[in-house]
Structure 1
Amino acid sequence: MLVKDIMKKEIVTLSPDATVSDALQLLQQHNIRHIPVINQEKRVLGIVSDRDVRDASPSILDDEINKEVLSRSIQDIMSKPVVTTHPYEFFEEVATIFYQREFACLPVVKNHQLVGMITEKDMLYAFIQLTGTHSPSTQLEIKVPDRIGVLSDVCQYFTNRNIKIVSVYSYPDPIEPEYKVLVFRIQTMNPMPVVNDFQQTEYQILYPYREDQDEI
């Protein structure tokens, strides 16, 4: 999945000559948390968040100081330089940036121009789509040896039962590094026939039997 498939294309922006008051009004009006600051060529100069506005605002009890703060240039409080991504970047790569840098959003830039915005919420929705949890399905977790061809072998059991695979992903087994766990979402309301098939193999069904294992 690419960034262009999940990014928002309709973006609220600010010009560099905008004020803190302008930013506050847009944040409240559109119920958003971040606004990119761009010039006439749509190049990203900075980004301002609701937190930036809050940190810049003094006590609400002092009207005179508030007027002075709200009239300040947005350039005084915006974050810069801005880390950006590209519309043809992979979702997984961007997820790593969000995790490592603890970002809440990323402007999407193509040919040095702002073309979109991707947020934590967009990333979460993409994950839901990738895992297939948005569609009616049943989940199976299967512990398998980490070797070439194991995914193809496991999928054959679903084919034999004429069961459609909605999604599949894997993660390392937390205890035995020579194993991994395959997580399938399959389009069937009764997984027991194929579960019974796996019980006759070297592969171990973890879920729906996970609750039978030792408690953490």
Structure 2
Amino acid sequence: MLVEEIMNRDVITLSPTDTIEKALHILQLNRIRHIPIVEKNKDVIGIISDRDIRDASPSIFKNNTVAEELKNELHTIMSSPVVTVHPLDFVEEIARIFYDEEFACLPVVRKDNRLVGIVTEKDMLQTLIQLTGTNVPSSHIEVRVPHRPGILPEVTSIFGKRKVNIVSVLVYPYKDDPAYKILVFRIQTMNPLPIIQDLRDAGYDLMWPNNIPGPKQ
């Protein structure tokens, strides 16, 4: 899945000379947490967050300085330079940036650094839900298999014989043992017991469910 498939294209931006007061108003009005800072040609030069605004805003106990501090320009508090991604980057790859850098959003730019969208933590979580198939009624099955070529089609053929639709497939390492992998299936049936029995009959080790016997056929 590509970034351009999940990014928000309708991005609210501000200029570096706009005030903290204006940014605060926009954040509250639109219920957003981040605003990219751009120049006239939409080149991204910075970004601010609701936390930046809170840190730069005066204390409620200093009413006499409220107007002055909120009139400071955004270039004085924005984060710069900005880590950005390209619309043709893979979502799975930018997830690593979110994790490693602990970012809450990433501006999306073309090669000329022109802003074309933004991706947030919420977008990433929604994508994870879609990729794992948890957004549709389904049953969850985990199978431990040898880590060798051709194992995935061997296992999926068992689902095919039952004419069961596979919603998603994920592959995980098995603990610290490189000889095995965990295949995680979500299948579109609310009665997985026949499939469970078929997998056991084929000699596969069920990790989940591992305590539900399938019906003998």
User: 1:91-170 counterparts in 2 under 5 A?
Assistant: 91-110=91-110, 111-170=112-171
Distance in 2 (alpha carbons) for counterparts of 1:98 and 1:66:
34
**Unaligned 5+ runs, structure 1:** none
**In the alignment, residue 54 of structure 1 is paired with which amino acid?**
R
Query: 1:62 corresponds to which residue?
Result: 62
Distance in 1 (alpha carbons) for counterparts of 2:187 and 2:17:
54
Q: Is 1:72 the equivalent of 2:38?
A: no
Query: 2:16 corresponds to which residue?
Result: 16
Distance in 1 (alpha carbons) for counterparts of 2:64 and 2:16:
24
Q: Is 1:47 the equivalent of 2:47?
A: yes
**Unaligned 5+ runs, structure 2:** none
Aligned-residue offset at 1:50? 0.6
Aligned-residue offset at 1:40? 0.8
Query: 1:31 corresponds to which residue?
Result: 31
Distance in 1 (alpha carbons) for counterparts of 2:54 and 2:29:
16
Distance of aligned partners of 1:65 and 1:97 in 2 relative to their CA distance in 1, 3 Å threshold: same
CA deviations on 1:61-102 (whole Å, 9 max, x unpaired) are 112222111000000000000000000000011000000111
TM-score by length of 2: 0.94
Distance of aligned partners of 1:160 and 1:83 in 2 relative to their CA distance in 1, 3 Å threshold: same
Distance in 2 (alpha carbons) for counterparts of 1:24 and 1:176:
51
Distance in 2 (alpha carbons) for counterparts of 1:106 and 1:149:
37
Distance in 2 (alpha carbons) for counterparts of 1:144 and 1:130:
22
**In the alignment, residue 206 of structure 2 is paired with which amino acid?**
I
Distance in 2 (alpha carbons) for counterparts of 1:129 and 1:168:
12
Query: 2:7 corresponds to which residue?
Result: 7
Distance in 2 (alpha carbons) for counterparts of 1:208 and 1:200:
15
Q: Is 1:206 the equivalent of 2:207?
A: yes
Q: Is 1:185 the equivalent of 2:192?
A: no
Query: 1:195 corresponds to which residue?
Result: 196
Distance in 2 (alpha carbons) for counterparts of 1:193 and 1:7:
40
Aligned-residue offset at 1:210? 6.4
Distance of aligned partners of 1:40 and 1:155 in 2 relative to their CA distance in 1, 3 Å threshold: same
TM-score by length of 1: 0.95
**In the alignment, residue 13 of structure 1 is paired with which amino acid?**
T
**In the alignment, residue 51 of structure 1 is paired with which amino acid?**
R
SS at match of 2:184: strand
Deviates more, 1:199-208 or 1:184-193: 199-208
Deviates more, 1:190-199 or 1:121-130: 190-199
**In the alignment, residue 153 of structure 2 is paired with which amino acid?**
S
SS at match of 1:202: coil
Distance in 2 (alpha carbons) for counterparts of 1:80 and 1:112:
14
**In the alignment, residue 187 of structure 2 is paired with which amino acid?**
I
SS at match of 2:26: helix
Structure 1 vs Structure 2 CA RMSD: 1.4
